[in-house]
Structure 1
């Protein structure tokens, strides 16, 4: 990994220290150039004409996403964000009264609200798999909780806080063994670690462009295992996902694009393609090694601060560092650091309510270094936090 080249290709680094890849990472120049070039083309020739001119490149976006996660292009749908992608899969599943969902203690708020809505509307039931002694989903407990009424396993691979990496592949092996559909939220995983849907044994996987993948905001994707394309119909359709073939009939597309609709941002698709290609060129194993080194360094430095406490869990941890510093209120602290050109974040308990209540977590500070960062930037950010704590 040529860190200096990567840093030169990251224009945001010239404007401050950015340690919030878990929110929206800094895009590299090739991604910025792809989006701007497409918008420029639209301005010059028109939106429809630009699409026609760049149709081949835009179609290759599906191949780039597929290569990133080990899928087939026909198994990929491109949506406006990760939540929209996740919801397309979840709400398409024909869950009925009495069906049970298994999920994890650290499940993300948006997903859990969807569970609650279908519980209220359809009469499904929600089972929470307990965590093991490290804080990760307990694989043994998961398998023991599967019954004939278990209709779905849906978990977040990397939660929004807590540093946790859930054992997604082990969950997939159990889901496959018992024939239970498996929906995996990979929003925080894609771009910071290798992802292989075959090894994960997931039926559905959702992700975003803006986080560790370093793509533009406002775009995400959904993976749907090929076998589901024979039976699964989206809750909402338009004439792109299901062409109107006769007066009284539509025909679902044969690929995952049945979950898309006709109108979308082609400029963002161009950026997503380049973001995938950029990550693949660097190598996801190398990226994971780099972000692990930087986040482990940050945890050690925070723990050494007076009043510093890291709140991360799990035997395997990711590049999201969750912490508190005695005397600092996270929300105003984030704003004060922003005034100094340092970007970190705060995470509210309601983002992962079950985990927060179980562990009695307050609002947390959140730092997520990416491979374009270095230890000196982490040191500067922590020195600024230490100074604020002493004021």
Structure 2
């Protein structure tokens, strides 16, 4: 992307006009003004015409969002469901798998998101075991090692594709090939991938994939999307149902035959109008171009950090994403985040709870995290570097 194109993105983003330097896109990115306008317009419509009456227009906006999400993921719109958060979406899909039995095995990457592991405790209480896929020499989940672990007791393979605690990119497609070869359900947590890099669910061969709307998609908080492979849909029997997800028919209440069996009737059309606009903006911009820009910017930042005394980098993987994990000598990561925030420079910080298996394996208590977006320009990098040098000294 050219400097002019980046500036055009910044010009339509209120956060970039306020003097803010935002490097916390992996936590939540900055929405565009048109995304804000879409949210406000639906709220005003509800206030003017009545919330229920404005729902008809809200349904139109929701379906546009569903189509835009399908386009981004190379999936049919009918395979997309929406939820209030990525954790909610993943949890609903996991719980819809049904009952777990003693001896059942769940295979996960070492970098699994802590919220997913917490949800899996329901299966552990029923007698299932969570087992970690060994890493290769780069620190990524190893497909060859995974293949050697497969037996009839493996009931789920789950992978956090891009971990929250650094720049690792796990080999999600190669893991998917193992899962499909053995006909084992395969879930992907793509919370840090969707909106940052190309995501093709057909190539990934996953059964379920989820992502929050607030991160790299630049949508509002309180939104998330969930992909369910159409042929896998009948495997999911959600416990939470209502007249939308399981409408009344002559035979009784029947679950929908699309991904909306995971949804419920009550939703925020305003927030989903904002998410729909953000998805459409992403499709117009082109995810390949976004990924190219993110890769270039993050590499420039890594180079600057490598040259800075007192900085230690903690990114794994042969190729890395736009999440940069580091520590500054003498500083707690969360205190560093707070001090930079006082300078109007936003970064993230991750503790053990976010990725407990990996953080404990590497002996890390916390890491500071920079995450980049096409919104970030050279001035942002200069200001961040200067602030880190000042705090180091």
**Map of 1:376 onto structure 2:** 379
User: Do the aligned partners of 1:76 and 1:222 also contact (CA within 8 Å) in 2?
Assistant: yes
Relative to the length of structure 2, the TM-score reads: 0.96
2:173 is aligned with 1:159:
no
**Map of 2:114 onto structure 1:** 109
Larger mean CA deviation between 30-39 and 100-109 belongs to: 30-39
User: Alpha-carbon deviations, 1:33-86, whole Å to 9, x = none?
Assistant: 111111111121121121123432322221111111011111111111111111
Distance in 2 (CA, whole Å) between partners of 1:115 and 1:51 is 36
> Aligned residue pairs: how many?
388
Stretches of structure 1 that go unaligned for 5 or more consecutive residues are none
Correspondences of 1:57-206 after superposition (within 5 Å)? 57-94=61-98, 95-120=100-125, 122-206=126-210
Distance in 1 (CA, whole Å) between partners of 2:236 and 2:348 is 38
**Offset at residue 97 of structure 1 (A):** 2.1
**Offset at residue 376 of structure 1 (A):** 2.2
Correspondences of 1:1-391 after superposition (within 5 Å)? 1=1, 2-15=5-18, 16-94=20-98, 95-120=100-125, 122-245=126-249, 249-390=252-393
**Offset at residue 301 of structure 1 (A):** 0.9
Distance in 1 (CA, whole Å) between partners of 2:357 and 2:266 is 37
Distance in 2 (CA, whole Å) between partners of 1:63 and 1:75 is 10
Relative to the length of structure 1, the TM-score reads: 0.97
Distance in 1 (CA, whole Å) between partners of 2:230 and 2:332 is 48
SS at match of 1:350: coil
User: Do the aligned partners of 2:97 and 2:235 also contact (CA within 8 Å) in 1?
Assistant: no
Distance in 2 (CA, whole Å) between partners of 1:115 and 1:48 is 37
Distance in 2 (CA, whole Å) between partners of 1:349 and 1:304 is 27
User: Alpha-carbon deviations, 1:17-38, whole Å to 9, x = none?
Assistant: 0110000001112211111111
Distance in 2 (CA, whole Å) between partners of 1:230 and 1:138 is 30
User: Alpha-carbon deviations, 1:264-283, whole Å to 9, x = none?
Assistant: 11001111111111111111
SS at match of 1:338: helix
Distance in 1 (CA, whole Å) between partners of 2:361 and 2:59 is 50
Stretches of structure 2 that go unaligned for 5 or more consecutive residues are none
RMSD in angstroms over aligned alpha carbons?
1.3
Distance in 1 (CA, whole Å) between partners of 2:7 and 2:257 is 45
User: Do the aligned partners of 2:58 and 2:273 also contact (CA within 8 Å) in 1?
Assistant: no
Distance in 2 (CA, whole Å) between partners of 1:49 and 1:294 is 46
SS at match of 1:133: coil
User: Do the aligned partners of 1:69 and 1:195 also contact (CA within 8 Å) in 2?
Assistant: yes
**Offset at residue 362 of structure 1 (A):** 2.7
User: Do the aligned partners of 1:11 and 1:28 also contact (CA within 8 Å) in 2?
Assistant: yes
**Structure with the larger helix share:** 1
Q: Moved runs in structure 1, 4+ residues, more than 3 A? A: none
Distance change (3 Å), C-alpha of 1:192 and 1:80: same
